[in-house]
Amino acid sequence: EPEVTQTPSHQVTQMGQEVILRCVPISNHLYFYWYRQILGQKVEFLVSFYNNEISEKSEIFDDQFSVERPDGSNFTLKIRSTKLEDSAMYFCASTPGTSSNTIYFGEGSWLTVV
Amino acid sequence: AQTVTQSQPEMSVQEAETVTLSCTYDTSENNYYLFWYKQPPSRQMILVIRQEAYKQQNATENRFSVNFQKAAKSFSLKISDSQLGDTAMYFCAFKTSGSRLTFGEGTQLTVNP
């Protein structure tokens, strides 16, 4: 069964460093998402991406965050200057389109900022 | 804005018993989708079941079923014949077409042997 894959599974980074989290969505999917989950809290929406542009973003997704689809398969989340409070599990997700509203999640990338 | 509320932070059940997890939501939309996701200790988000609001029939997936009450804006998950592998955090989630997925706070379910 096709699945969303994410790398790395776990990354430790120094505060102030840039981090890139990578995702390969399911191949025929058109909508891509990033969500995050701070330890012990609920899953929060960051951004959605469709047709090579951001379609929606939350208040969390400020100027230090950016997303990109550099080629036909990868979807990346960049955090420019990490802060301690960016420590969280970051989930990539995808869905085929508006006719199917089921969102499929990757296994997550656990980011620890020290 | 849509909100999802799970009022049970923790629940436990004996193996082979049945347990029901509660979820309520608030929306002014008429067409929407509801989901239950399972998050085991590995922290992966696994889709358990989905329900389209326009369908009156409650969704079922093997041992998992929902009780969808549209007027009451309630969407509970029933797990029958609970197994040790069902131990996980369960999130209720809401979505309209083309919009973000909004999650509840989660219910930690423990299945005891």
Per-residue pLDDT tens over the stretch A3-62: 899 999 999 999 999 999 999 999 889 899 999 999 888 899 999 999 889 999 999 999
Q: Give the C-alpha separation, A60 to B52, whole Å.
A: 29
> Region B31-46: what's the mean pLDDT?
91
Given a cut of 70, whether residue A100 has pLDDT beyond it is: no
Residue found under tokens 């080629």: A71
The 10 Å CB-count burial string (b at 16+, else e) for B66-79 is bebeeeebebbbbb
- B-chain CB neighbours of A102 within 8 Å are 33, 35, 47, 50
pLDDT at A72 (0 to 100): 75
* pLDDT tens figures, A14-24: 999 999 999 99
pLDDT at A5 (0 to 100): 94
Tell how strand B88-95 and strand B102-103 pair up.
antiparallel
Of A37, A93, A98, the CB nearest to B98: A98
Mean pLDDT, chain B, whole residue set? 94
Residue found under tokens 């301690």: A84
Given a cut of 80, whether residue A2 has pLDDT beyond it is: no
B14 burial type by CB count under 10 A (0-12 exposed, 13-18 middle, 19+ buried): exposed
* pLDDT tens figures, B79-104: 999 999 999 999 999 988 767 889 99
- A-chain CB neighbours of B29 within 8 Å are none
B47: contact with A, CB 8 A cutoff: yes
